[in-house]
A and B are shown apart, each in its own frame.
Chain A
Amino acid sequence: DVKVTQSSRYLVKRTGEKVFLECVQDMDHENMFWYRQDPGLGLRLIYFSYDVKMKEKGDIPEGYSVSREKKERFSLILESASTNQTSMYLCASSLEELGGTREDEQFFGPGTRLTVL
């Protein structure tokens, strides 16, 4: 089974702190994604990566950056945390985007609930 792990389930940080959220997948997937999930808004894509050292902006990249130095690890960085970044953060991975096949299924981690005070 695919396993996607995230470094923390719960995190509390103060405004202005630099925050690192780590995600690791163990199935050699090419694609990795970071989403945030807020009530009534569903999942919104922050950044995604389709290869090592490659990244693409999603719908809401402002205030975030990412790093993918190794294929299995994708990090989300909040350079200076703000209260409006309090949210549930979900990491996902997928094999490759072949469209019309099951290989594009996204596998999600358990999520990190971040609170910024």
Chain B
Amino acid sequence: KNQVEQSPQSLIILEGKNCTLQCNYTVSPFSNLRWYKQDTGRGPVSLTIMTFSENTKSNGRYTATLDADTKQSSLHITASQLSDSASYICVVTATSGTYKYIFGTGTRLKVLA
């Protein structure tokens, strides 16, 4: 069964610190993996996308990595800011099946001043 698991469920860090969020998946075969940021009360917004052949992708202070062999991805946030407080959702797009977007349950990040 295609699944995406994220850890930790929640995380609290101090402003200025770095953090890393994890995403493990069993989706196979897959075409790409995205990280979304969802602010409270808002819809998710795409941060990064990686195809199965890419290892890393950056978007400002956000850097995503992908290891297709171990089926793991991580999202690293550098020099966190209060505005980084949000949920981060990992989504894997499968290449087969009726519908293809497999969502993780997200990591809720809280950045404290």
Measuring CB to CB, which residues of chain A are less than 8 angstroms from any residue of chain B? 4, 9, 33, 40-43, 45, 48, 56, 58, 90, 92, 97, 99-102, 104-111, 113
Contact = CB atoms under 8 A, between A and B. Distances in A.
Nearest to A99: B31
A45 to B, nearest CB: 6
A42 B99 contact: no
Interface string B88-113: 01010101001111011110000000
Contacts, number: 59
Contacts of B41: 9, 110-111, 113
B31 to A, nearest CB: 4
B43 interface: yes
A40 B95 CA distance: 26
B95 A42 contact: no
A43 B42 CA distance: 13
Interface of B: 9, 31-32, 34, 41-46, 49, 51-52, 89, 91, 93, 95, 98-101, 103-106
B56 to A, nearest CB: 17
A101 B32 CA distance: 8
B43 to A, nearest CB: 3
Given A99-B100, A113-B41, 19 more contacts: A4-B43, A33-B101, A40-B105, A42-B89, A42-B103, A42-B104, A42-B105, A45-B101, A56-B99, A58-B99, A90-B43, A92-B43, A99-B32, A104-B31, A105-B46, A106-B91, A106-B101, A107-B46, A110-B42
